[in-house]
Amino acid sequence: MYSLYFSPGACSLATHTILNMLNQKTELIHVSNVKNFEAVNPSKMVPVLKDGDTYLTEGAAIILYLLEKHENNLMAKAGASRQKAIENMMLANATMHPAYGRLFFASANMEEGKAKDDFFKAAAETIDKIWLSVENKISEGPFLGGHSVSPADILLTVYSDWGQYFPVDINIGPKAQQMIKLVQQSEAFKLASQKEADTVAN
Ligand SMILES: N[C@@H](CCC(=O)N[C@@H](CS)C(=O)NCC(=O)O)C(=O)O
């Protein structure tokens, strides 16, 4: 059985959803209940996945690890389709996630005032541009990779929820919105969200 260190609704929700899609039993560890989380992950970030005695960090790397280990239809095994799925996953994890990360950073670290307002506006404009590139990538089906869901769709769905916590308007195009809705309606995502909400922080 795996153990997943998570924070409710954080990027760890994508790892959690994929574990559900792979039918993997997972113990959930709310990061607030861990006394010395720094010893688990020196960067103090979720997700961390424990597999036996091994601790794995970095969401995208964890997802690739899981997809290699368990039979699935979430990503092609080789060739151009696999490369495209990894590219899309990185667009989500390495481009969109940090773009939203700026909102969290400014909210926690900047003093109220014009500079903060301008920063939020500029950060939101960058996020909009990335959502536009996502919109343009969705063509032959409701998902980024076509007719079946892939890790990029799941990661982006998790991030899409974060804009509501900040004084910004994020523009997500109709195709991306439809993709998000489909992921949110999946049993794996619903179960993961529910379990995270039910796991109490002490
Ligand atoms: N590159 C890391 C980033 C992880 C990350 O930013 N996690 C956030 C939650 S979405 C976190 O744990 N933040 C807590 C903190 O910064 O202290 C990954 O993709 O796993």
Mind listing the pLDDT tens digit for each residue in 77-113? 999 999 999 999 999 999 999 999 999 999 999 999 9
Mutate to test the pocket of ligand 1, among 11, 48, 156 (most ligand atoms within 8 A of CB): 11
Inter-residue contact 3 to 26 (CB < 8 Å): yes
128 in ligand 1 pocket by Cβ < 6 Å? no
10 in ligand 1 pocket by Cβ < 6 Å? yes
Query: Among the atoms of ligand 1, which is closest to the Cα of residue 58?
Result: 20
Residues of the chain with CATH 1.20.1050.10: 79-186
Residues of the chain with CATH 3.40.30.10: 2-73+188-198
Is the pTM higher than 0.85? The answer reads yes
Contacts of 133 (CB under 8 A, 6+ apart): 91
- Which stretches of the chain drop beneath a pLDDT of 70? none
User: 35 C-alpha to center of ligand 1: Å?
Assistant: 18
**CATH 3.30.70.1280 assigned to 79-186:** no
> The domain 2-73+188-198: what is its CATH number?
3.40.30.10
93 in ligand 1 pocket by Cβ < 6 Å? yes
Sign of torsion over alpha carbons 137, 178, 158, 161: positive
pLDDT of residue 200: 79
Pairing of β 2-6 and β 54-57: unpaired
3-class SS of residue 56: strand
- C-alpha to C-alpha distance for 97 and 78, rounded to whole angstroms: 26
pLDDT of residue 135: 98
pLDDT of residue 72: 98
Inter-residue contact 183 to 124 (CB < 8 Å): no
pLDDT of residue 201: 74
The tokens for 59 are 């969401």
